[in-house]
A and B are shown apart, each in its own frame.
Chain A
Amino acid sequence: MNALGMLAMTALLGVPAGAALLLVLVPGYRLGARLNVGATLLSLLAALSLFGARPEANAYLRVDDFNLYLIVLNNLVSFTTSLFSASYIAHELESGRLTPQYLRFYHAMYQALIFAMNLALLANNIGLLWVAIELATLITVLMVGLYRTRAALEAAWKYFILGSLGIALALFGTILVYLAAQPVIGQGLPAMAWDQLLAHAAAFDPALLNLAFVFLLLGYGTKAGLVPLHAWLPDAHAEGPTPISAVLSGLLLNVALYAVLRFKMLMSANPAALAPGPLMIILGLLSLLFAALMLYRRGDIKRLFAYSSIEHMGIITFAFGMGGPLANFAGLLHMAMHSLTKSAIFFTVGHIAQARGTQRISTIRGLTTTHPALGWGLVAGVLAIAGLPPFGVFTSEFLVVSSTFARQPLLALLLVLGLLLAFGTLLWRLHGMAFGESQGANTPVRSSSLPLLLHLGLVLVAGIWLPEPLVRWFQHVAALLG
């Protein structure tokens, strides 16, 4: 069993890394795209096999209740995104926005990104985690700038600067955690290993831990797009290739948040340390309200949904900040649901932008008439992300709002205000785009609806029924998160 688990874990890192190297060498975008899909499928299978055989943790890597579902989610979404990407880039190539060399680079980078994210999730070492996230940041910077337009370069530049700053802050926090751990655990690798840290967290110096958490929250929070550290996020989403927007929103934000949560566990394990809750609540509410307001004046469809991602990261952060079994459960669920839904939305948005030749919302009208599949896909996605049943986001928002209100009515009111503001504008844009008389350019697109259907299907199922093991893991992790 364990051997299988180790194999799977190795495959999760090895397959993307190998594929990245291979893809650099492969000419021809068709083959590249297929290889890309194949490699992600392999990773997905490896991730799934972790359900059956969970490997023992070693000094560098580990699989536990927390990261298992994120790993599976990560590889699932990267698989579906690679499917989407295959149909997306074909169109980009035809329309001349990308050249075959760039595509080679793109595919290799895609696999490298998956490698980095898998590494971040699997890491049993805070240093390794940091390295992985830095790697992911650098790769995404390159991918955001892929189109080489002025706007894309500017977005990438902004992302790079802010991302590096975040990374730097996170490194400082990591060092501080090590310093806190070192007198208790001793020098060397064990003082950076999750399982060790968690086991001994109660004995750490609380002042160092507090300081570390501030840096880590700001550092990884930048990557998670929390306000006021969010500035890179909307532009990076809007100007990069859409598959990357999907991965950014769906996966990378989660990975960053995952890192924050890991450190939150340490904080909760140390009774003398500052309670991280209020900090996260403030940042979460700030993100939610700010993003909800920013949604109103957006004219670019991808930027719109990028702000929606900030909003949802705010909700999740808020939920974890509230803590308690219900809110934590909701936060964990919301991470998964948001990632599936938001990437599904970007799938449709990508094709919509191709079909209409624009990302301007005001020029997109009547999608459900001209492109029923895309239009209704967008409708379903937006409704799901807005937290309407029968989709899973509803479950998590239900838990967050109701459990908060019984404890902190004022906070819940702010939360609800943010949710309503966001509803208001997202739905307004949706109505404009999906309904009414269609206008403007109208190219038919070859879109594969499998990724979209798969994501929305999963979100739908989760809205109605959650599998027993998943619930058990969530509850376990929720208890650890305090």
Chain B
Amino acid sequence: MILSLLLSLPVALLTVSGAAVFAHRHPGRSRGIYSATLVLSTVALCVVLIHWLGGHTPATLTLPIGLPWLGAHFRLDALAAFFLVVVNLGGAVASLFALGYGQHEPAPERVLPFFPAFLAGMNLVLLADDAFIFLFAWEFMSLSSWALVLAHHREVANVRAGYLYLVMACFGTLALLLSFGLLAGPQGGYDFATMRAAQLTPGLAALTLVLALLGAGSKAGLVPLHVWLPLAHPAAPSHVSALMSGVMTKVAVYGFIRIVFDLLGEPMAWWWGGLVLSLGGVSAVLGVLYALMQHDLKRLLAYHTVENIGIIFIGLGLALAFQANQMYASAALALTAALFHVLNHSLFKSLLFLGTGAVLTATGERDMERLGGLIHPMPWTALAFLIGAAAISALPPLNGFVSEWLTFQAILLTPELPQWMLKFLAPAVGALLALSAALAAACFVKAFGITFLGRPRSPAAAQARETDRYSLAALFILAALCLLAGILPGLVVDGLAPIVGLLNGGAHLTAQHGQPWLTLAPVAEVKSSYNGLLVLLFMALSGSLAVLLIHRLASDVARRGPAWDCGFPESSPMTQYTAGSFAQPIRRVFGSVVFQAREQVTMPPPGDARAARLEVQLQDPVWDLGYAPITAAVIAVSTRFNVLQYLTIRRYLSLVFGALVLLLLGMVLWR
């Protein structure tokens, strides 16, 4: 019943898509479509929430479509429900934002038909209960988002981004397909129930894991499969970028969890966890380092998605490692951390992308070097963006901190693991995690500081106006959720408990709502605890106390004057620190190793009035070592083979002749 209701929503979304195709001339279509998606996503959100809070018994449904002898299986369990909440929350907020933002879309006919389809695809992936429907929906999701990436296809870079995206999506789908092939076995037991029951040999199970990691990892943006992500996510319209980065990557995480934790069952070797863990650690650090080197705001955010996916996978890797050693209590902590971060990242990444969208609408720019001072014309957007930036930088009392804190707590439990490799790996990954958190803070000081603070660096930035109320509403809903999840983490953890139990042989964290003051104490209070609510209260109290006392007892006068700047006031806005210069110290520290960064200064001779130039060259090691050789090899081989297009007929005949003789010889020898 509930499932058919939930399934009817994607169908309705697809209908909306169809309507968008046919109404491509209607003036009010944009508002109409987005209202429809808003309503549908909200309904789905409410339905799932009600289901979740009301006992969450799994519901199943089989429809006579899809593979004929199998039918289409759908199922709603706690895991799906959680991700459905993430997806539909993101969908609803993005739709709300787009009610305002969509008015500025230059090519609505390339956005409107695909946006509802994209949402429908993501919903269907989560509801699927057999491999065919899962992959079908998965690929459909990729395809509709690909169309959205190409919405502004006149920019050459976007076409390239779309291409890379689609190829990587196909790669991922094929990897998943192979892993499902293993799970299903030669008889083709494609429904998830059969797969769950099937027993794989350790070797095949490990292969399945690797393939699932490749498949889901390429969609989620795990290093080294991330190359498409920072190109594709920014190319789409901002509300779609928000969905892609904030939500679609979570669907990929869902795919990984579903295959590895649910279908595959218990991990069979400790190195599974180690593999996922190290990939997660590398992604976290490389992601944020890449992000620091960017000056395109949306691309910066996209690289941060890589980082956060890394953090999520660190949690998942830890959970695998714990499960492999039957340490279910610890695994529960790691899983909770990962899932919590899934929720958090979807909130603040959507928020940040939507904020960028607002900036884009107001200025037409997403290059930070041409922005600045936007906090004056756009105070509300700036506030919301600031909350998002603080949240993603893992600053208490916001939500990003809670999940990273939980991940750290899980890492702190790794000394209990019996395997040496893991014992060494975990602290190293812990260091990487800490490094990435600190670098993320640096990166968002840059992102917020260069974009919103200082003085405008271009006329467009100077003439910006505050964004519309729909967009603001969307931004503040997300900002409020970031804060709420940050100060009431115990409730979220309790909400995640059934999912963790589902994936973890029944073991989950102890109920948190009984803790005094809603403290979060995942293991025991003597070991570690955190209370975001109290931290917020204390900060608010001490801060307002300071304000009150100082303004009462001392001085509350403020005058305006020119900036002092050590005695050099009134300089041009171009003398401000730019995004590039902000990142320079970090580039010096990390860049020369990771990116082979080279700086080249061209200084005009004395007397020459030309500006001096500083050029920075960065090389992406992943691209250089992984993708470039593959591309080159394919081109080289195909060039070599291309000769075969230009043979003479005689040579073609020789080919046939040769094939015939070869086969006859084979027959003779076969006897």
Contacts and interface: CB of A to CB of B under 8 A. Distances in A.
A431 interface: yes
Contacts of B637: 293
A403 B653 contact: no
Nearest to A217: B663
Interchain residue pairs A-B with the least CB separation, the first 5: A402-B181, A405-B181, A296-B638, A435-B153, A231-B652
Contact of B65 (A389, A423, A465): A465
A431 B181 contact: no
Given A229-B656, A389-B140, A423-B170, 7 more contacts: A161-B653, A207-B671, A228-B655, A229-B659, A293-B641, A406-B186, A421-B634
B139 A389 contact: yes
Interface stretch (B160-168, B292-300, B416-424, B580-588): B160-168
A73 B153 CA distance: 36
Given A210-B667, A428-B163, A435-B150, A398 B177 contact: yes
A404 interface: yes
Interface string A314-326: 0000000000101
A245 B65 CA distance: 33
A222 B159 CA distance: 38
A218 B143 contact: no
Interface stretch (B32-40, B389-397, B612-620, B643-651): B643-651
A290 interface: yes
Interface string A289-312: 010011111000000000000000
Interface in B188-208: 188, 190, 207
A389 B134 CA distance: 11
A464 B65 contact: yes
A404 B181 contact: yes
Nearest to B635: A296
Contacts of B156: 436
Interface of B: 64-69, 131-132, 135-137, 139-140, 142-143, 150, 153-154, 156, 159-160, 162-163, 166-167, 170-171, 174, 177-178, 180-182, 184-186, 188, 190, 207, 634-635, 637-639, 641-642, 644-645, 647, 649, 652-653, 655-656, 658-660, 663-664, 667, 670-671
A290 B65 CA distance: 35
Contacts of A279: 663
A292 B645 CA distance: 13
A267 B215 CA distance: 39
Main secondary structure of the interface of B (DSSP, over half): helix
A54 B658 CA distance: 43
Given A431-B159, A437-B154, A386 B136 contact: no
A368 interface: yes
Say whether chain A's binding surface is mostly helix, strand, loop, or mixed: helix
Interface residues of A, number: 72
Contacts of B639: 296-297
Given A214-B667, A403-B181, A165 B645 contact: no
Nearest to A368: B153
B154 to A, nearest CB: 5
A162 B660 CA distance: 13
Interface string A370-396: 000000000000010010111000110
A294 B644 contact: yes
A222 B491 CA distance: 68
Nearest to A438: B154
Given A165-B653, A402-B131, A324 B186 contact: yes
Contacts of A432: 159
Nearest to B21: A376
B494 to A, nearest CB: 38
A218 B136 contact: no
A132 interface: no
Contacts of A274: 667, 670
A164 to B, nearest CB: 11
